[in-house]
């Protein structure tokens, strides 16, 4: 009963006075107003989850006060000071702007101009949750539902561990639906069938920043996704572009330790960050969004292992109807596994299961030219006597210190180096904007051997942005 009354209690209060230990110890008369303003976002009061509505509801009508030592001050007074300094003092505009944004996280949750709109939007709540924490995770969906003026009864009836799932069910089946781009968040996901696309919590800073780059959580008409929970067709129903991918086969007869992604040591960047080629010979970049390129010791599932363990891997992505991202841009994507292909085709819908978030990057025209040149040189390398000699050792386990094998491998590397500094390769380096020096030659040789060993992916099939998906 008390939870149901919290919204009305704070909303109808004459004044709400905040008592925070760090603020109570601060003598407001002995410090500049700037320092008083700085103490608000650094206080524990703004890091607790439940105090979000405690500040947001009264703040919209200037009824929120903060208690310092022997003095209480309206939050609106401090905010007005920040705004005035931001307008008049260019030297302090930067820090004032950041402080104003922190004040906005609890002062601007509600649309005060729209008196008919009782609850806050999910978008502004998302910003208000930044840097906050909660002791009991099951409290998070209760607070969000309270701020959105959603009926708490269905959430309270659910088991504590299921409350977040129940909130997503309510939001996903509402008339406004959800923004389909929520699929591309980087946070931990729920494990509930039909909801495996959904964030397990909205309190992670990394998750909140990833959602911020994707826009509003509430679905605008062209971006809406709706939750389907009937029968076996469970998931968020969205329209997105996508393509099917597959591993490229290494050159035939290449020894195991020189072929494919398994030849790379665990957590090597090449097992997380790929180049892809479509049927027209164009190249793209694909990166595991959860992999830290600069810390190869980080423990994370390898993208190549996830793809190899997926029977029918597809990438759905946030972008235009064109597969090719604009120059200097990238698409947020999601690696998914397609279900029953026959059922998907007959219903003109793809039923897929969420795997991991990825980024599809634009490969510049110059880089495309370089990679296409490397492909041509790779074919020439494959038909050389040095490659044939190496392939004669077969795919069985080869003794790496065998004298004949070492000689064959050295001959192969010499041939790839010769091709990398051929007139064709040097011209390709210059045309693609690279310098035809030793560094450029090594770069070309690296691409030749990468393609030869099968360290890239193929785009097998493409579907436009009007394609409908059931994403679980």
> What does the pLDDT read at residue 436?
81
Q: Which of 179, 192, 65, 83 is nearest to 126 (CA)?
A: 179
Specify which of 29-33, 123-127, 181-185, 422-426 reaches the highest per-range mean pLDDT.
422-426
397 burial via Cβ count (<10 Å: 0-12, 13-18, 19+): exposed
- Is residue 386 within 8 A of residue 411, CB to CB? The reply is yes
**How far is 414 from 426, CA to CA, in rounded Å?**
17
Question: 10 Å Cβ neighbour count for 311?
Answer: 8
> What does the pLDDT read at residue 294?
40
What are φ and ψ of residue 338, in 5° steps?
Answer: -75, 145
Specify which of 103-107, 286-290, 452-456 reaches the highest per-range mean pLDDT.
452-456
Q: What is the mean pLDDT of residues 442-457?
A: 87
- Is residue 391 within 8 A of residue 408, CB to CB? The reply is no
The backbone region for 47, taken as left when phi is positive above 0, alpha when psi lies in -120 to 50, beta otherwise, is alpha
State the Cα angle at 363 between 300 and 370, rounded to 5°: 115
User: What would the pLDDT profile of 160-192 be if each residue is shown by its tens digit?
Assistant: 889 999 988 888 888 778 888 888 887 788 888
Tell me the C-alpha to C-alpha distance, in Å, between residue 379 and each of 282, 309, 331, 387, 413: 17, 29, 31, 11, 15
User: What would the pLDDT profile of 303-359 be if each residue is shown by its tens digit?
Assistant: 888 888 888 899 988 765 555 555 556 778 889 998 765 455 446 788 889 888 888
Q: What's the mean pLDDT when you consider all of the chain?
A: 79
| pLDDT band of 109, cuts 50, 70, 90 | confident
User: What would the pLDDT profile of 39-73 be if each residue is shown by its tens digit?
Assistant: 888 888 888 888 888 887 777 777 888 888 888 88
> What does the pLDDT read at residue 247?
86
Pull the structure tokens for residue 24: 């109570």
Higher pLDDT, 295 or 425: 425
Q: Residue 141, SS3?
A: helix
Provide the sign of the torsion angle of the four alpha carbons 85, 87, 92, 98, taken in this order.
positive
> What does the pLDDT read at residue 314?
92
What is the DSSP code string of 338-374? Answer: E--HHHHHHTTEEEEEEEEEEEEEEPPHHHHHHHHHH
pLDDT at 118 over 70: no
Among the residue ranges 296-300, 366-370, 444-448, the one predicted with the least confidence is: 296-300
> What does the pLDDT read at residue 117?
52
Question: 10 Å Cβ neighbour count for 275?
Answer: 20
**How far is 192 from 172, CA to CA, in rounded Å?**
14
**How far is 76 from 108, CA to CA, in rounded Å?**
12
| pLDDT band of 205, cuts 50, 70, 90 | low
**How far is 337 from 296, CA to CA, in rounded Å?**
26
User: What would the pLDDT profile of 87-101 be if each residue is shown by its tens digit?
Assistant: 888 888 888 888 888
Q: Residue 117, SS3?
A: coil
- Is residue 285 within 8 A of residue 363, CB to CB? The reply is yes
The rounded percent of the chain whose pLDDT value lies above 90 is: 2
- Is residue 202 within 8 A of residue 140, CB to CB? The reply is yes
Among the residue ranges 76-90, 194-208, 285-299, the one predicted with the least confidence is: 285-299
Q: What is the mean pLDDT of residues 132-149?
A: 86
pLDDT at 251 over 50: yes
> What does the pLDDT read at residue 183?
84
Q: Which of 35, 34, 13, 10 is nearest to 22 (CA)?
A: 35
- Pairing between β-strand 313-318 and β-strand 241-247 as defined by DSSP bridges: antiparallel
Q: What is the mean pLDDT of residues 281-303?
A: 65
pLDDT at 257 over 70: yes
Q: Residue 301, SS3?
A: coil
Q: What is the mean pLDDT of residues 210-233?
A: 65
Pull the structure tokens for residue 255: 């020894």
- Is residue 189 within 8 A of residue 200, CB to CB? The reply is yes
First-to-last CA distance in the chain?
A: 34
Among the residue ranges 84-88, 103-107, 296-300, 323-327, the one predicted with the least confidence is: 296-300
pLDDT at 213 over 60: no
């Amino acid at each position: 009963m008390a939870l149901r009354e919290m919204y009305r209690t704070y909303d109808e209060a004459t004044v709400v006075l905040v008592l925070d230990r760090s603020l109570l110890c601060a003598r407001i008369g002995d410090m500049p107003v700037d320092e008083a303003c700085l103490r608000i976002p650094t206080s524990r009061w703004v890091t607790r989850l439940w105090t979000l509505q405690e500040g947001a509801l009264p703040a919209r009508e200037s009824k929120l006060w903060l208690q310092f030592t022997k003095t209480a001050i309206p939050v609106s007074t401090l905010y007005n000071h920040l705004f005035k300094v931001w307008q008049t003092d260019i030297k302090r505009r930067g820090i004032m702007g950041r402080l104003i944004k922190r004040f906005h996280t609890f002062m601007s949750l509600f649309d005060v101009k729209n008196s008919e709109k009782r609850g806050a939007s999910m978008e502004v709540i998302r910003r208000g949750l930044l840097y906050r924490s909660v002791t009991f995770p099951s409290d998070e969906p209760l607070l969000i539902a309270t701020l959105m003026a959603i009926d708490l009864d269905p959430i309270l009836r659910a088991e504590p561990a299921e409350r977040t799932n129940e909130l997503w069910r309510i939001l996903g089946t509402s008339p406004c639906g959800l923004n389909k781009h929520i699929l591309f968040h980087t946070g931990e996901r729920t494990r509930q069938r039909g909801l495996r696309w959904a964030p397990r919590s909205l309190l992670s800073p990394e998750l909140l920043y990833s959602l911020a780059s994707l826009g509003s959580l509430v679905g605008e008409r062209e971006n809406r996704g709706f939750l389907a929970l009937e029968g076996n067709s469970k998931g968020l129903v969205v329209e997105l572009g996508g393509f099917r991918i597959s591993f490229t086969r290494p050159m035939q007869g290449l020894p195991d330790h020189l072929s494919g992604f398994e030849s790379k040591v665990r957590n090597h960047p090449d097992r997380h960050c790929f180049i892809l080629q479509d049927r027209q010979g164009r190249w793209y970049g694909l990166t595991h969004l959860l992999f830290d390129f600069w810390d190869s010791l980080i423990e994370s599932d390898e993208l190549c292992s996830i793809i190899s363990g997926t029977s029918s891997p597809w990438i759905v992505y946030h972008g235009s109807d064109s597969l090719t991202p604009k120059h200097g841009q990238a698409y947020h994507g999601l690696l998914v596994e397609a279900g029953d292909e026959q059922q998907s085709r007959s219903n003109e819908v793809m039923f897929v299961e969420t795997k991991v978030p990825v980024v599809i990057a634009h490969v510049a025209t110059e880089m495309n030219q370089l990679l296409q040149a490397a492909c041509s040189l790779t074919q020439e390398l494959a038909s050389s006597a040095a490659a044939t000699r190496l392939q004669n050792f077969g795919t069985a386990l080869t003794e790496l210190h065998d004298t004949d094998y070492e000689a064959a491998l050295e001959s192969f590397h010499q041939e790839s180096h010769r091709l990398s500094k051929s007139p064709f390769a040097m011209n390709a380096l210059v045309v693609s904007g690279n310098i035809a020096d030793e560094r450029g030659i090594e770069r070309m040789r690296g691409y030749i051997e990468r393609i030869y060993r099968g360290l890239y992916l193929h785009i097998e099939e493409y579907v436009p942005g009007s394609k409908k998906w059931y994403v679980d």
